[in-house]
A = this chain, B = another copy of it.
């Protein structure tokens, strides 16, 4: 796709074959949460012969350009989120699945941060049963 190439160039990323394929999938307008593994599986199904190393490289390249958000939900794998706006998540441990919470939420009763520290951002993770 032309616009994906343009999009990559705009973000100082050479539109290589692999990056175009991955970007096309990730930025198709539907927000996604992927890990290197889930992305690899998806690409295998699409018969895009992209090596695991490139998948890792590309996710990190995109992350460094601010095209992806990194989520640290559990310590087993790193999730990348195509929704880079500040938002929160439902997390179902059972399904290993994340769901965006796109509504505004307020946290009240927050204590002062420790001396010399400033609050950067507040992350709310809503764990789901079942």
Interface residue? A46 (CB, 8 A): no
Q: Are A118 and B122 in contact (CB under 8 A)?
A: no
CA distance in complex: A29, B40 (Å): 47
The binding surface of chain A is classed by DSSP as loop
Assembly stoichiometry (copies): 2
Interface segment, A2-10, A16-24, A75-83?
A75-83
Interface residue? A30 (CB, 8 A): no
Binding site for B on A (CB under 8 A): 72-78, 90, 92, 99, 101, 103-111, 113-114, 116-130
- Name the 9 nearest CB pairs between A and B, nearest first: A105-B109, A120-B127, A120-B129, A117-B128, A118-B129, A72-B74, A123-B125, A106-B108, A75-B75
